[in-house]
């Protein structure tokens, strides 16, 4: 794991100063930093695993629902990415205070769907739509897009990998589409699935798959019973049907596009 001293002593184009830790998790730490060359305040995300390659930055036009990414590389033996510093907290921090009511959660989901529509229009599959990559500030949400894969790509080697009998899992396994967990090719419908699970977490405050063991999570996602909302939420038949289609195990049974998912949102703004 890279320490703060190695970061502050790094000599890179632009350089950074005044680093302060904003957040840390299992996979990475995020620092507030000042870019020496122009004084701009940015966010610096450093991956904990020193064996990770630098994240790939998808080449897409700016969008209000996407965090602007500046660059990526390696420093002090670890991979990093620099990005705009935007207000907000990741989904896990938001729901730590309690789940959101549908009236608050669904507009956030709509904004994230709009960001995915933009990515997909540029031929990019996000591939890791999960709480760590969503920043929420009040009613505004932004998606961090890293390691985007070309649409309809074959499986590629992503940043965070857990290997087992030839398979791999990128990002949080509990938010990965079943086809990816099985080592198959993915397309934009994997992002539809991930957004459905992010919606579940916003609405319930927990992961849909909460198993401690990696293989148990994979088995639940690939072979377990179909996911459903808790009874209190499922009482809204339209919301229950929307969720069931978003997280259908068969990609062909999901919403065909992020735009279709957004259009079908109950009380969609």
* Closest of 86, 1, 9, 4 to residue 42, by C-alpha: 86
* Closest of 148, 156, 144 to residue 188, by C-alpha: 148
Whole-number pLDDT of residue 150: 38
Decide which of 84, 113, 128 is a domain's last residue: 84
Question: Which 8-state DSSP code applies to residue 66?
Answer: B
Residue 268 within a domain: no
Residues 80 and 93 in one domain: no
Q: Is the pLDDT of residue 209 over 80?
A: yes
Residues 133 and 41 in one domain: no
- Three-state SS at 89: strand
Q: Is the pLDDT of residue 24 over 80?
A: no
- Three-state SS at 35: strand
Residues 168 and 241 in one domain: yes
More confident of the two residues 84 and 238: 238
Residues 130 and 8 in one domain: no
Residues 48 and 111 in one domain: no
More confident of the two residues 43 and 106: 106
Answer yes or no: are the C-beta atoms of 7 and 19 closer than 8 Å: yes
* Closest of 158, 202, 148 to residue 181, by C-alpha: 158
Confidence at 4, pLDDT banded by 50, 70, 90: low
Looking at residue 56, which CATH number applies to its domain?
A: 3.30.200
DSSP track, 218-263: HHHHHHSPPP---HHHHTSHHHHHHHHHHT-SSGGGS-SSHHHHHH
Decide which of 69, 84, 99 is a domain's last residue: 84
Q: Is the pLDDT of residue 161 over 50?
A: no
* Closest of 193, 170, 188 to residue 55, by C-alpha: 170
Residues 112 and 163 in one domain: yes
Residues 77 and 97 in one domain: no
Residue 138 within a domain: yes
Whole-number pLDDT of residue 148: 46
Query: Residues 201-205: what's their mean pLDDT?
Result: 97
Domain residues for 79? 4-84
pLDDT tens-digit map of 178-192 = 999 888 999 999 999
pLDDT tens-digit map of 6-22 = 555 454 445 777 788 88
Query: What is the spatial distance between Cα 229 and Cα 98, in angstroms, rounded to a whole number?
Result: 16
The answer to which of 36-40, 115-119, 164-168 has the lowest mean pLDDT is 164-168
pLDDT tens-digit map of 25-57 = 666 778 888 887 788 888 888 876 656 566 666
Query: Residues 96-110: what's their mean pLDDT?
Result: 96
pLDDT tens-digit map of 224-261 = 888 999 999 999 999 999 999 999 999 999 999 999 99
Residues 41 and 108 in one domain: no
Q: Is the pLDDT of residue 153 over 50?
A: no
Confidence at 100, pLDDT banded by 50, 70, 90: very high
Percent of the chain at pLDDT exceeding 90: 39
- Number of domains comprising the chain: 2
3-state secondary structure string, 147-188? CCEECCCCCCCCCCECCECCECCECCHHHCCHHHHCCCCCCC
Q: Is the pLDDT of residue 110 over 70?
A: yes
Q: Is the pLDDT of residue 219 over 90?
A: no
* Residue bearing tokens 């529509």: 117
Residues 145 and 209 in one domain: yes
Looking at residue 242, which CATH number applies to its domain?
A: 1.10.510.10
Whole-number pLDDT of residue 146: 65
Average per-residue pLDDT in the chain? Answer: 80
Q: Is the pLDDT of residue 88 over 70?
A: yes
Residues 64 and 96 in one domain: no
Count the neighbouring beta carbons within 10 Å of the beta carbon of residue 15.
Answer: 13
Residues 76 and 95 in one domain: no
Residues 98 and 208 in one domain: yes
Confidence at 83, pLDDT banded by 50, 70, 90: confident
């Amino acid at each position: 794991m890279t320490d703060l001293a190695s970061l502050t002593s790094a000599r890179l184009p632009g350089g950074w100063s005044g680093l302060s830790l904003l957040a840390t998790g299992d996979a990475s730490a995020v620092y507030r930093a000042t870019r020496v060359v122009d004084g701009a305040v940015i966010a610096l995300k450093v991956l904990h695993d020193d064996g990770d390659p630098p994240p790939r930055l998808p080449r897409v036009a700016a969008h209000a629902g996407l965090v602007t990414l500046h660059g990526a590389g390696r420093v002090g033996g670890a991979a990093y990415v620099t990005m705009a510093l935007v207000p907000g907290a990741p989904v896990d921090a938001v729901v730590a205070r309690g789940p959101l009511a549908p009236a608050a959660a669904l507009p956030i989901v709509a904004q994230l769907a709009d960001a995915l529509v933009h990515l997909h229009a540029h031929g990019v599959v996000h591939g890791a739509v999960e709480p760590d990559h969503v920043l929420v500030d009040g009613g505004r949400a932004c998606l961090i897009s890293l390691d985007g894969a070309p649409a309809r790509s074959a499986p590629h080697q992503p940043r965070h990998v857990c290997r087992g009998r030839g398979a791999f899992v990128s990002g949080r396994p509990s938010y990965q589409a079943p086809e990816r967990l099985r080592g198959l090719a993915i397309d934009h419908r994997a992002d539809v699935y991930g957004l459905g699970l992010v919606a579940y977490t916003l609405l319930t405050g927990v992961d849909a798959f909460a198993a401690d063991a990696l293989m148990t999570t994979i088995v639940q996602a690939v072979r377990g019973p179909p996911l459903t909302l808790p009874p209190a939420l499922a009482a809204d038949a339209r919301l229950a049907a929307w969720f069931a289609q978003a997280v259908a195990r068969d990609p062909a049974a999901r919403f065909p596009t992020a735009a279709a998912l957004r259009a079908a949102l109950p009380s969609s703004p």
